[in-house]
Amino acid sequence: MTTILEKTAGLVAFVRTVDAGSFHAASRLLGSSPSAVSKSVARLERRLGVRLIQRSTRRLGLTSEGLAYYERVAPLLRALDDAEDIVQMADTARGLLRVTAAVELGRGLIASWAQAFLAQHGEVKLELSVTDRHADLIREGYDVAVRMGALSDTGLVARKIANLPIVLVASRTYVERRGRPASIEDLQSHDFVRYQMAGRPYPVTLADGTVIVPKGRLDTNDGGTIRQAALAGAAIAHLMQFAVQDDLDAGRLVRILPEVAMPTMPVHIVHAYGRQLPVRARLFGDFLAGRMAVLTR
């Protein structure tokens, strides 16, 4: 009769190898040698009777059987890690924290704050994926996602951590060339660098509910590109304030209609853990909430 220990032999080595990308990197996580990790995975393959990992001199790749096996067993292994994490002291965190974040937040804020969080929690390793695609947290193995805007009903647990301000800005060159809008009505005659979503320009919505469909000849789906175009004097831009605060402080950009109230952008931490959110993920949410609170003052 096969024991549970025999069934799970090599399982940790396999999952850690896939997560780390190589036997060498996995050996560092496991405190072992690359050859020992490789042999452990090979024994698992022999027991299962299938090849899980395709080995080459340059890289490792999962076979179709390996991918199917990984998608089943990796969440189980993470659940064991999380069970241990949950019973730790409330202010203690350790282990790998996998985060997916919207591009604007990931590049503009989280990347610059990451070292401060890691310095506070010396036993945590952070893996940050920056994408505007809504990742499948369970299937792709992320602990949390940091998302902007309204949330769809996905069954995930959500915690709002901030409402970040939005501003209208333009360069001094643009204002000198086209004039400065004096009213909401004036905006209709000005050019915008337009944020494009699903093939259509995203409307500008004011705090009172007024919706403006901006006109313009340059559309993009990237906030960084919109900022660069505004700096070049192309048009007015509708952006998160944190993304252009340095430009405003330096005078490279100026506020357009600063007296007109703009809505804020909600930011949420979402996860699929229910009530048993691992300590490392909960503390990361607390950390982001504290940092983002400064941006709204």
From the list 177, 178, 179, 181, the residue with the least C-alpha distance to 168 is 181
**Rounded Cα distance, 284 and 290, in Å:** 10
What type of residue sits at position 21? Answer: G
Q: Name which of 83-87, 132-136, 150-154, 187-191 the model is least confident about.
A: 83-87
pLDDT tier at 82, thresholds 50, 70, 90? low
Tell me, yes or no, if the pTM score tops 0.85: no
What type of residue sits at position 139? Answer: R
pLDDT at 226: 95
**Rounded Cα distance, 230 and 168, in Å:** 10
> According to CATH, where is 1.10.10.10 located in the chain?
4-86
Phi, psi of 291 (to 5 degrees): -70, -40
| 174 within 8 A of 234, measured Cβ to Cβ | yes
**Rounded Cα distance, 227 and 70, in Å:** 41
**Rounded Cα distance, 142 and 135, in Å:** 8
Tokens 């209709």 belong to: 188
CATH topology of domain 95-161+265-295: D-Maltodextrin-Binding Protein; domain 2 (3.40.190)
Tokens 């506020």 belong to: 255
Question: 55: helix, coil or strand?
Answer: strand
pLDDT tier at 118, thresholds 50, 70, 90? very high
> According to CATH, where is 3.40.190.10 located in the chain?
95-161+265-295, 163-264
CATH topology of domain 163-264: D-Maltodextrin-Binding Protein; domain 2 (3.40.190)
CATH of domain 4-86: 1.10.10.10
Q: Highest-confidence range of 32-41, 66-75, 261-270, by mean pLDDT?
A: 261-270
**Rounded Cα distance, 85 and 90, in Å:** 9
**Rounded Cα distance, 268 and 158, in Å:** 6
